[in-house]
Every structure is written in structure tokens, then in C-alpha cells.
Homo-oligomer: A and B are copies of this chain.
Amino acid sequence: MDIAALKRDLEGLKIDDHPAIVQQKSRDFYWYSPVLKAQLDHVTGDLIVTPKSEDEVIRVLAACHRRGVPVTPRGSGTGNYGQAMPLSGGVVLNLAEMNQVKAIAPGRVVTGPGAVLAEIDKATRAHSAQELRMSPSTYNTASIGGFVAGGSGGVGSIRWGGLRDLGNVIRLRTVTMEAEPRVMELTGEEVLKVMHAYGTNGIITEVEMPLTASYDWIDVIVGFDDFMDAAGFGNDLAIQDGILAKLITPIAAPIPYDYFKRHQKFFRREQSIVVCMIAPHAIEAFVAFVKSGKGEIVFRADQEADLKGLPPAYELTWNHTTLRAIRVDPTITYLQARYPSPDHLAHVKAMVDRFGDEVPAHLEFIRFDGAIGAAGLPLVRYTTQERLDEIIRIHEDNGCWIFNPHRYTLEEGGMKRTDDVQLAFKRETDPQGLLNPGKMIAWENPDYDYRSGKSFLFKGLQKVG
């Protein structure tokens, strides 16, 4: 790689090669996983390029194509599987400054890829009381391009399903990695070609997302003596079609008391909780609903005198649950699970009974194929890689699906099989395999055996210096 020559090609663009900056911008939240931390700690790019327009993106891709330099796109770098880490070095394409909110209409917003989710909502709320359907709990920092290319769902998925559900992304504009990069517009189911593809088959330069009505959601936390009562309450609430909720998150004791330091005073240590975001006009029905069950409201943001210092409730949920635990106890890690419906609660109970406090439970209720489902982000009190693998195996043997967050490839973190549509699209858009190398096994090693039980090891991974 002739980085010096590339730098000359890119003259006039915003470039950074200060090693500390380059290293910082080559990292994401991969360190969440003790496994990825060990594998990727040394990984770094050679150059950070920060385009301000699609034209500049095209210039960068053309130059890198000519010089055979890998390009790894980056939004805000909050992915936690090393998605945005340049395994073979090269250019990190930092899209953070393509962050314009370009157009807002009923049900729609058009933005640059680097727009931060909370900033988009700020604009759409002010414009017409609208907001994005769903956001990761990294709402305040993550970019929309990174969410589409690297995320899956989050706060709001209880109502709208996952990001990949048809209709949850209206249009994507992408640029190919070729001698003369082409611009493509993808709509309908075509958006799936690049969604959650980690930027391996195109750089997203514009995003059109559906909007929904925004409300001043009320954070409410309901406490329970027993975790399965909390889970049951969450499920019963989720199937209330008339009570508008944006978030329903059961979390087992002692996670809330031990790790949610700033909310600690609201909990007893043996209390499991359900974190909710409720529309103001649903709050009376919600309170009536709570009264009919075993829980008690332990926190209600609209009735709390002093909210200073308290994070928003969603920053206790999704992957923030894990983050808060790790901050207190760095030996903790986590898993990502789906408990198949309709008997998802029975699956949850089986795992809770089996592992107890070694794998403290954390559920996220979501909508899935028109029904209510339970995803899990249970914590794991990590001992060894072997035990972690065993915990995964026991989940799978019990019919739970695991999306392994301790792998940096698309397939291993997903359904453990080739996505033919995304692979075919990569052949079209990145024939030389220069976009985010090492993340798509189907490209690197079409004959890979997913049942091997081992982690895929990308041959192009930088050697430890």
C-alpha cells in the first residue's frame, strides 16, 4: 500500500494521519468482548479521510481503488463487534461530517449518513412533531449510516420491528468501489442489499427513513420481587394494543441495584425491574394496567422532583445495560439471544433456572413478524472462553438462538450462513474486495464450514506489531 501516493491523490480533502488520532478512529466498542479485545486490540488504519460530500466520497474510493487500498467506513464508531475496524489497515472513511438533515416531510426524513440519530430527531421534532421509528440506545452518539449498516433495532422495535423489516428504511443512496465509482439508489427490498452489511458492499451517502409521531415519552420503571414476574408483566404489557410504549425492558436483580449507580436509590438489591417508555396519553391506562399486576412503580420521570444526573431510561437498556455492568465489573460480558415465540417466556425461564446469577437475565421485547417476541442481552459473568462457548451451546441446545457478539464477521454474529443477496451485490459493487475486508466470510472463504465450532480467522488480519 502506497499511502504516501494516496495522500497526494487526496490533496484538498480532510485527512488525518496522526497515529493517536488514527488509532482512536480505527476503534469501536469491540473491547466489550474479551474475545474481540484480544483479537483486535492492535488493529489500526493508516489514514483517516473525512469527506464532506458524495463527490469527495467518490474521489476517495476511486483513488483507493486505483492504489488497491482498503476502505473501512465509519459513522460514530459505536458498533461493538469491531464492525468499523480496518482489519487490513488502509483508509478509515469517516462519514461524521456528512451529517446534514436535508428534507423533512410527513413520515419521511432525508439525511447524510453521518447525521447523529438524536440530532435527526431534534430537527424532525421541531419541524413537525415527528421522530425516527427506532434507535439504538447509542441514540445520542450513533450515526444513521452506521445504524443502517451495522445495527439491527432498538428503542422503538417493540412497535416497529427490526431495522431490516421492509419499510423501516425507505431509500439508500450508495457509492460503489470501482475505478469509476457509480452512485446507486436502492428502494423497496433492495435496501436489504447493503443493510447490516458493515459497509462491505457500498458506501451509504444518503438515507431516507420513515418517521412516526414524536411524544414526550415518560420513563417509568416497575419493580418486581421475581424476575419471571417482571418478564411476564413485560409480555402482558407488550400485547396491550392500546397502550403506546416505545420500550419494554425486563432486567434481573441484582443488575439494577449493582450497576445502575445513578438510579440505585430507587431499587432494592433483590428487585428485578421493567424499564418502560410510555406515551403521555397512555400513562393513565398504563398505571391502571400496573395496578392489576404484581409490580410497583418505583420510578416515574414525570413525577420525580429531581432528575439531575439521571440518564434517560433507554440508556439503561439494550447494550447500555451491558456497558453499565462492565463499568462496575470489567469481568462481565454478555450474549445476544432470541427466545423463539410463542413460548418465549418458557425458554427464558429455562435459561434463568439453569444459569441463575452466572447469566443475569436482560430481555428486550420487540415486534417480530407481527407478534410480540423476546430478544435477550443477558450478562455473563465471564470466566473462560470455554465456559462462554458452553453457555452458548446450552442456549442453542434449548432452542434459543444466539447471535454471537464475540465475532467480527457478519455471518458468525448473525444466522451463520451466507447472505446470497449481499454477496452477489458485493461482486457488483466491490469486485476487488477492498471495502471493509475480512467481515464477510462468504467473500473471503466461500467454502467455510460454520459448524466447525471455531472462530473464523481472517487471513488479511494485521499481524500484531
Query: Is B210 a contact of A165 with CB atoms below 8 Å?
Result: no
Query: Is A107 a contact of B242 with CB atoms below 8 Å?
Result: no
A238 contacts B by Cβ under 8 Å? yes
Which of B107, B159, B287 has a CB less than 8 Å from the CB of A279?
B107
A103 contacts B by Cβ under 8 Å? no
A350 contacts B by Cβ under 8 Å? no
| Residues of B close to A162: CB separation below 8 A | 241
| Residues of B close to A238: CB separation below 8 A | 370
A52 contacts B by Cβ under 8 Å? no
| Residues of B close to A100: CB separation below 8 A | none
Query: Is A240 a contact of B188 with CB atoms below 8 Å?
Result: no
Task: Please choose the segment from A142-150, A211-219, A250-258 that sits at the chain B interface, where 4 or more of its residues have CB less than 8 A away.
Answer: A211-219
Query: Is B165 a contact of A107 with CB atoms below 8 Å?
Result: no
Query: Is A242 a contact of B370 with CB atoms below 8 Å?
Result: no
* A156, chain B: closest CB distance, angstroms: 11
* A396, chain B: closest CB distance, angstroms: 25
| Residues of B close to A286: CB separation below 8 A | 167
A139 contacts B by Cβ under 8 Å? no
Query: Is B241 a contact of A188 with CB atoms below 8 Å?
Result: no
| Residues of B close to A287: CB separation below 8 A | 188
A79 contacts B by Cβ under 8 Å? no
Assembled-state Cα–Cα distance A283/B369 (Å): 19
A456 contacts B by Cβ under 8 Å? no
Assembled-state Cα–Cα distance A133/B244 (Å): 11
Query: Is A130 a contact of B371 with CB atoms below 8 Å?
Result: no
Of A105, A188, A244, A280, the most chain B CB neighbours within 10 A belong to A188
A108 contacts B by Cβ under 8 Å? yes
Of A105, A292, A371, the most chain B CB neighbours within 10 A belong to A371
Assembled-state Cα–Cα distance A281/B282 (Å): 25
Query: Is B241 a contact of A282 with CB atoms below 8 Å?
Result: no
Query: Is B106 a contact of A188 with CB atoms below 8 Å?
Result: no
| Residues of B close to A288: CB separation below 8 A | 166, 187-190
Within 8 A of B (CB), among A166-219: 166-168, 170-171, 187-190, 210-213, 215-216
A3 contacts B by Cβ under 8 Å? no
| Residues of B close to A190: CB separation below 8 A | 288
| Residues of B close to A170: CB separation below 8 A | 281, 284-285
A330 contacts B by Cβ under 8 Å? no
* A179, chain B: closest CB distance, angstroms: 31
Which residue of the partner chain B has the closest CB to A235?
B370
A289 contacts B by Cβ under 8 Å? yes
Assembled-state Cα–Cα distance A372/B210 (Å): 22
A160 contacts B by Cβ under 8 Å? yes
A-B interface, 7 closest residue pairs, ranked by CB to CB distance from nearest: A239-B370, A161-B241, A188-B288, A167-B242, A107-B281, A165-B242, A167-B285
